[in-house]
A = this chain, B = another copy of it.
Amino acid sequence: MSILKSLNKIGFSKLTLLDDALKKIQAHITPAALDEVETSKALNRVLATGIISELDIPPFDRSAMDGYAVKAEDTFGASPSNPKVIKKIGTVEIGEETDLVLKSGEAIRISTGAVIPQGADSVIKIEDTDIDGEIVSIYTSIVPGKNVSKKGEDIPLGTDILRAGITIKASHIALLSSLGIKHIKVKKKPKVSVFAVGDELVEVGSPLPINKIYNSNSPMVSSLVETYGGSVVRELNIKDNKDEIRNNLIKSSIDSQIIIFTGGTSVGTKDFLPETIHENGKVLVHGIAMRPGSPVLIGLKDQSLVFCLPGTPVAAYICFLLIVGTTIKKMLGCLTTDPRVEIIATISKDVPVSRMGYKHYLRVRLEKRENQLLALPVKLKGSGIISSLTQSDGIVEISENREGLKKGEKVSVYLHP
């Protein structure tokens, strides 16, 4: 009996549950190394260390309005019909130091963001005043502290402001910059090699001979790697040829933390991947109880995790999202290993599953109807049908113990990343 045959028996005689497969992967995940980048260039990177504020924000008591710094008690009782009158003794602009000291009956013209001068306890808005020469009329009464942003009121020095594992967005860049943090430690992007395997595959841009198809998997997978925060070091279209597969496996294991193959992972006569992984590394899982995606193989070659995804594009896509993508996020130490947004919607019709015991993944389109958000299954003919992805907004998971979904029930739709 060939190794292939025995592997097929090992792999497919008993399918692994997705959660168990993910646990097996977990034991082989090496956290990504550290990288230091400029904060301003850190968009979409993963923060590697927690950040503690070494400043008070704001760093001094400052005006939240354009107006006059005053003692609040000088405004008490003021109204449009009965204005209080005080004297302007100077101006403090934003960014300026001032040695002015304010006494009762005095006002200092102040800009938004400028330091509150000594003696002042509040700021009255310019709109609630009038000026004639140096005489300021006050038309409303304010309380002490009004329109003053106190030193440290946003972020006191010593605050834990960001946790390791967040993915940096524009607002984090603003926060880090406001604290004067020029460089941050982020996780290095895991290096990934991507191979589409198959004699039937033709590179996009070449003429299409009869019985061949264009390679759409490797550009799709490479884009997903990028979306999930990895870095593609190699993307190739290779033949159903054991030597070619082995050579690329060995070469990639030297420089890639993750090696992805699509195609050649099932029980076809030319599916050399299971055999090649077994001979040169280790098969962790072959066959997962999920549809589409069941022929997926997960293995190891030295320190590199190897994922052999089905050749049908939708199956490859779904296996990527649920298995490879989450692995990249775990390597990166992300707090959220599934970056997809979950939306609750109502399923528009009964959806029986093809076989209980498998997780099923349903592509759905979202549509608002009469104040209800409906999830409408897109036509489901085969896992090769890429347009079922491009016509859908997201994916609904149907768990192993369900016979299907019932029209009208609430489901979680995970939007495409």
The reply to whether A384 and B224 contact each other, CB–CB distance below 8 Å, is: no
- Asked whether any CB of chain B lies closer than 8 Å to the CB of A401, the reply is no
Point out which of A126, A386, A417 has the most chain B C-beta atoms below 10 A from its C-beta: A386
The reply to whether A204 and B40 contact each other, CB–CB distance below 8 Å, is: yes
Q: A58-B384, A204-B39, A227-B43 are in contact. Are A174 and B217 (CB under 8 A)?
A: yes
Q: Please, which residue of chain B has its CB at the minimum distance from the CB of A225? A: B170
The reply to whether A317 and B171 contact each other, CB–CB distance below 8 Å, is: yes
Copies in the complex: 2
How many Å from the CB of A9 to the closest CB on chain B? Answer: 12
Q: A269-B111, A373-B344 are in contact. Are A219 and B387 (CB under 8 A)?
A: no
Q: A208-B59, A208-B180, A343-B343 are in contact. Are A219 and B175 (CB under 8 A)?
A: no
Q: Mark A63-78, 1 if CB is under 8 A from B, else 0.
A: 0101000000000000
Chain A interface residue bracket vs B: 35 or more
- With a cutoff of 8 Å between Cβ atoms, the chain B residues found around residue A382 in the complex are 64, 149, 154
The reply to whether A205 and B223 contact each other, CB–CB distance below 8 Å, is: no
How many Å from the CB of A267 to the closest CB on chain B? Answer: 5
Binding site for B on A (CB under 8 A): 39-40, 43, 55, 57-60, 64, 66, 91, 93-97, 109, 111-115, 126, 149, 153-155, 161-162, 169-182, 198-201, 204-205, 208, 210-217, 219-224, 226-227, 235, 240, 266-271, 311-313, 317, 341, 343-344, 373, 381-382, 384-387, 389-390, 415-417
Bound: A3/B119 CA distance, A = 34
The reply to whether B170 and A220 contact each other, CB–CB distance below 8 Å, is: yes
How many Å from the CB of A265 to the closest CB on chain B? Answer: 10
The reply to whether A266 and B66 contact each other, CB–CB distance below 8 Å, is: yes
Bound: A212/B311 CA distance, A = 58
Bound: A201/B13 CA distance, A = 67
How many Å from the CB of A195 to the closest CB on chain B? Answer: 15
The reply to whether A210 and B389 contact each other, CB–CB distance below 8 Å, is: no
- With a cutoff of 8 Å between Cβ atoms, the chain B residues found around residue A312 in the complex are 112
How many Å from the CB of A44 to the closest CB on chain B? Answer: 9
A–B Cβ pairs within 8 angstroms, 18 of them: A40-B204, A40-B222, A43-B226, A43-B227, A59-B212, A59-B213, A93-B268, A93-B269, A94-B200, A97-B210, A111-B270, A113-B311, A154-B381, A169-B227, A171-B390, A174-B386, A175-B390, A344-B373
